[in-house]
Structure 1
Amino acid sequence: MKTSSLSPSSSRKENQDLRLFAQLEEGKYEALMLLHQKFYRPLCRFGAMFEQNTLIIEEKVADVFIELWTRRDALSEVKYPKAYLYIMARNKLLRTAKGESLLTRIHDHLNYSNAEQPSHEEELIHQEEKQINQKRIEDILQKVPERSRRVFEMSRIEGFKYREIAEILGISYRTVEQHVAITIRTIKNNLTDH
Structure 2
Amino acid sequence: MKVLPDNNTIIAALAEGDEQLFGQLYDYYSQALFRNIYKLLPDTQEAEDVLQTVFLKLWEQRHSLNSKQSVAGWLFTTSFYMTMTCVRKKVKTRMQALAETSLEVKQEEWEHDDRYEKKTAFLREAIDSLPERKRLAFELYKIQGKSYKEVAETLGIKEETVKEYVKSALQMLRQMAAKSDVALYTLFVFFIA
Greater RCO, CA 8 A, separation 6+: 1
Matched, 1:36 2:8: no
Match of 2:73 among 83, 91, 94: 83
The answer to whether the 8 A contact 1:43-1:89 is kept is yes
The answer to whether the 8 A contact 1:21-1:31 is kept is no
Matched, 1:48 2:38: yes
**In the superposition, relative to structure 1, how do residues 14 and 59 fare at CA in structure 2: closer, same or farther (>3 Å)?**
same
The answer to whether the 8 A contact 2:11-2:65 is kept is yes
1:115 and 1:76 map into 2 onto residues whose CA distance is 46
Percentage of identical aligned residues: 15
Q: Report the 3-state secondary structure (helix = DSSP H, G, I; strand = E; otherwise coil) of the residue aligned with 2:26.
A: helix
**1:14 Cα offset (Å):** 6.9
**In the superposition, relative to structure 1, how do residues 38 and 106 fare at CA in structure 2: closer, same or farther (>3 Å)?**
same
Q: Report the 3-state secondary structure (helix = DSSP H, G, I; strand = E; otherwise coil) of the residue aligned with 1:47.
A: helix
Question: Rg: which structure is higher?
Answer: 1
1:104 and 1:47 map into 2 onto residues whose CA distance is 20
1:54 and 1:117 map into 2 onto residues whose CA distance is 30
Q: Please, which runs of 5 or more residues in structure 2 have no aligned partner? A: 109-116, 137-193
The answer to whether the 8 A contact 1:51-1:97 is kept is yes
1:45 and 1:60 map into 2 onto residues whose CA distance is 12
Matched, 1:22 2:12: yes
Q: How many positions carry a matched residue from both structures? A: 121
1:102 and 1:117 map into 2 onto residues whose CA distance is 11
- The farther-off stretch of 21-30 and 89-98 is 21-30
Give the ranges of 4+ consecutive aligned residues of structure 1 lying more than 4 Å apart after TM superposition.
114-118
**1:113 Cα offset (Å):** 3.5
**1:116 Cα offset (Å):** 8.8
- The farther-off stretch of 45-54 and 66-75 is 45-54
Q: Report the 3-state secondary structure (helix = DSSP H, G, I; strand = E; otherwise coil) of the residue aligned with 1:76.
A: coil
Q: Report the 3-state secondary structure (helix = DSSP H, G, I; strand = E; otherwise coil) of the residue aligned with 1:161.
A: helix
**1:112 Cα offset (Å):** 2.7
The answer to whether the 8 A contact 2:14-2:62 is kept is yes
**In the superposition, relative to structure 1, how do residues 33 and 116 fare at CA in structure 2: closer, same or farther (>3 Å)?**
closer
The answer to whether the 8 A contact 1:64-1:89 is kept is yes
The answer to whether the 8 A contact 1:14-1:80 is kept is no
Q: Please, which runs of 5 or more residues in structure 1 have no aligned partner? A: 1-11, 119-154, 168-194
Q: Deviations over 1:110-144 (max 9, x none)?
A: 233488989xxxxxxxxxxxxxxxxxxxxxxxxxx
Find the counterpart in structure 1 of residue 124 from structure 2: 161
1:101 and 1:108 map into 2 onto residues whose CA distance is 11
1:97 and 1:115 map into 2 onto residues whose CA distance is 21
Find the counterpart in structure 2 of residue 109 from structure 1: 99
Amino acid at match of 1:18: N
